[in-house]
């Protein structure tokens, strides 16, 4: 009898208040997320006239060879931007953490790192266009004046250079995000652990490997998850710089889905693609979370 009463323990006043405060926010999020998801599911199994067609849209989406070109381009883009941003952000975070002591200078660097994150992607794409344009681009002008090249380089017309150009814009904008996250993580490293390692004669690499990395490991999962989500929705600056070209070299998944919906007006296939991307990303996140567990052991 006592066990049943314990299992039906009434919520305290503070707990009821907490649930009442959270209910409007959680309810709004549930509605905002659930309604579009249900509509996409319905659209993915329906024809243009609203009749149910089962998995026909999914089969058409998977049979389109342009989908695999977009997946390949997205994979190449991810392999360029993610390791580069993590390496540069980690290096800069360690450099500032270990060499910059004045708090005012650290605050100034913090503010400067935030600036690229708040610039609209469209504006960044326009600036990137002014840098990489073959005829009037700033980069070509500088390289020609210093004698590094003797003719204009078609940065946005060559398949390899175009992918590097759009990736460089992403790296410029999102490396500060990695720096901010990792620098914040370095502030949680206990000072006494570092001092003990220094007394034992540990060099900077040993300190990073056995102390800093222990506290940064959960943050790497956060960074990889958020950046992968951003890569899947990258659109603005790529569309402005190359429009997905040359050919389909820089046509990432977001651009491909945009064209299926708004250029070919195939809503069923676009909805099926959205569901497939969501399911694939959920599986990928599960695999990453297992490879980089959040718990510190």
- DSSP code per residue over 97-131: HHH---HHHHHHHHHHHHHHHHS-HHHHHHHHHHH
Decide if 227 is inside a domain.
yes
249-294 pLDDT tens trace: 999 999 999 999 998 888 999 999 999 998 888 888 888 777 655 5
Mean pLDDT of the chain: 86
Decide if 70 is inside a domain.
yes
- Distances in whole angstroms, Cα of residue 193 to Cα of each of 101, 103, 133, 214: 19, 22, 51, 12
CA angle 102, 103, 105 (to 5 degrees): 70
**Res 291: pLDDT:** 67
Decide if 127 is inside a domain.
yes
Tokens of 175: 């490396």
**Mean pLDDT within 84-106:** 91
Measured from the Cβ of residue 281, the count of other Cβ atoms closer than 10 Å reads 14
Provide the residue range defining the domain that includes 221. 65-291
Residue 4: which pLDDT band, with cuts at 50, 70 and 90? very low
Mean pLDDT highest for which of 20-34, 48-62, 77-91?
Answer: 77-91
58-74 pLDDT tens trace: 999 999 999 999 999 99
The pTM (predicted TM-score) of the whole model is: 0.85
**Mean pLDDT within 209-224:** 86
**Mean pLDDT within 133-142:** 85
**Mean pLDDT within 233-253:** 92
Decide if 230 is inside a domain.
yes
Decide if 69 is inside a domain.
yes
CATH code where residue 75 lies: 1.10.3720.10
166-209 pLDDT tens trace: 999 999 999 999 999 999 999 888 888 877 887 877 788 888 88
Decide if 19 is inside a domain.
no
Tokens of 133: 């344009």
Decide if 40 is inside a domain.
no
- Distances in whole angstroms, Cα of residue 206 to Cα of each of 83, 197, 212: 22, 8, 9
Which helix (DSSP H) or strand (DSSP E) does residue 136 occupy?
Answer: none
CA 13 to chain centre: 41
Whether the predicted pLDDT of 9 surpasses 70: no
Q: Domain tally for the chain?
A: 1
How many residues are given for the chain? 297
Closest CA to 260 of 277, 281, 237: 277
Decide if 55 is inside a domain.
no
Tokens of 47: 């024809």
Whether the predicted pLDDT of 297 surpasses 60: no
d(CA 232, CA 138): 29
Maximum distance among all Cα pairs of the chain, rounded to whole angstroms: 89
Whether the predicted pLDDT of 7 surpasses 50: no
Cis before 189 (ω within 30): no
- Distances in whole angstroms, Cα of residue 214 to Cα of each of 73, 202, 204, 209, 270: 34, 16, 14, 8, 42
**Res 206: pLDDT:** 83
**Res 1: pLDDT:** 47
**Mean pLDDT within 106-131:** 90
Whether the predicted pLDDT of 8 surpasses 70: no
Whether the predicted pLDDT of 35 surpasses 50: yes
By the 10 Å C-beta count (0-12 exposed, 13-18 middle, 19+ buried), 284 is classed as middle
**Mean pLDDT within 25-45:** 86
Q: Judge contact between 89 and 182, C-beta under 8 A.
A: yes
Q: Judge contact between 260 and 238, C-beta under 8 A.
A: no
**Res 66: pLDDT:** 92
């Amino acid at each position: 009898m006592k066990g049943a009463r314990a299992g039906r323990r009434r919520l305290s006043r503070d707990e009821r208040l907490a649930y009442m405060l959270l209910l409007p926010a959680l309810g709004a999020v549930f509605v905002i997320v659930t309604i579009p998801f249900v509509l996409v599911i319905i659209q993915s199994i329906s024809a243009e006239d609203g009749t149910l067609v089962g998995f026909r849209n999914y089969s058409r989406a998977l049979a389109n060879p342009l989908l695999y070109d977009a997946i390949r381009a997205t994979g190449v883009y991810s392999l360029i931007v993610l390791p580069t941003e993590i390496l540069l952000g980690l290096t800069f975070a360690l450099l500032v953490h270990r060499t910059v002591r004045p708090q005012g200078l650290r605050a100034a660097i913090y503010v400067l790192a935030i600036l690229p994150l708040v610039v609209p992607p469209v504006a960044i794409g326009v600036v990137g266009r002014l840098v990489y344009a073959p005829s009037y681009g700033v980069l070509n002008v500088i390289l020609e004046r210093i004698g590094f090249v003797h003719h204009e380089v078609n940065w946005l017309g060559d398949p390899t250079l175009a992918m590097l150009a759009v990736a460089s814009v992403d790296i410029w904008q999102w490396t500060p995000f990695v720096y901010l996250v990792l620098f914040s993580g370095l502030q949680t490293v206990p000072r006494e652990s570092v001092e003990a390692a220094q007394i034992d004669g540990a060099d900077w690499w040993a300190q990073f490997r056995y102390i800093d990395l222990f506290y940064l490991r959960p943050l790497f999962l956060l960074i990889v998850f958020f950046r992968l989500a951003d890569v899947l929705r990258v659109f603005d600056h790529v569309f402005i710089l190359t429009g997905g070209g040359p050919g389909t070299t820089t046509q990432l998944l977001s651009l491909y889905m945009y064209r299926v919906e708004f250029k070919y007006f195939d809503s069923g296939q676009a909805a099926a693609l959205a569901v497939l991307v969501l399911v694939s990303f959920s599986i990928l996140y599960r695999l990453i979370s297992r490879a980089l567990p959040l718990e510190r052991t």
